[in-house]
Amino acid sequence: MSRIIKSVSLDQESSAIADSLPNFSHFVRECLYRHAVQSVTECVEPKPERFKGRCNPLTPKNCFVCWPEGKPTREAVKQWSVDRLSMTWLDMKAKEANAYLISLQGANTRKRKTSMPKNRGGKRTLLEKLLPKYLKLRRER
């Protein structure tokens, strides 16, 4: 996959947060994919019968339509297949494997606190909301 370089304007606080991430570009790509899936309701990838209407989680690209909790590990998919376990079990394993993923539910809505200045940017609000949880989970892994 070819890479396209985009620049992002950060303030001092968000720059410090970006510096603390092991791979800022990966973090931004993940956020963009997960944000985009909120408006996409259908996956266009082939859906093998064994995955019951979902695309194959072992492909390189993440599909958050079929796998909203992220992809399960290769080992979990193998165990699921060999032991003929339920999709609920596989979803649980995907959630465990991706516990560090931040929740983007409601990322497009801004709830202002009364103490927050009205001219504060949406990006800053989003970062303040999401990054502490992401960083905490990354440290726990």
pLDDT tens string 116-139 = 445 555 566 666 667 776 666 666
- On whether residue 11 sits in a domain, the answer given is no
Q: What band does 72 get if pLDDT is binned at 50, 70 and 90?
A: very high
**DSSP-based three-state secondary structure for 102:** coil
Residue 12 has pLDDT above 80, yes or no: yes
Mean pLDDT calculated for residue range 44-73: 89
* C-beta of residue 76 within 8 angstroms of C-beta of residue 92: no
Give the chain's mean pLDDT: 79
Q: What band does 87 get if pLDDT is binned at 50, 70 and 90?
A: very high
- On whether residue 36 sits in a domain, the answer given is yes
- Higher local confidence (pLDDT), 74 or 69: 74
Alpha helix stretches (DSSP H) within the chain: 12-20, 24-36, 74-83, 87-97, 122-140
Question: In total, how many domains does the chain have?
Answer: 1
- On whether residue 10 sits in a domain, the answer given is no
* C-beta of residue 98 within 8 angstroms of C-beta of residue 139: no
- On whether residue 12 sits in a domain, the answer given is no
Residue 53: give the domain boundaries. Answer: 23-106+118-140
- How many Cβ atoms are within 10 Å of 82's Cβ, its own excluded? 8
Rounded-to-integer distance, Cα 123 and Cα 18, Å: 13
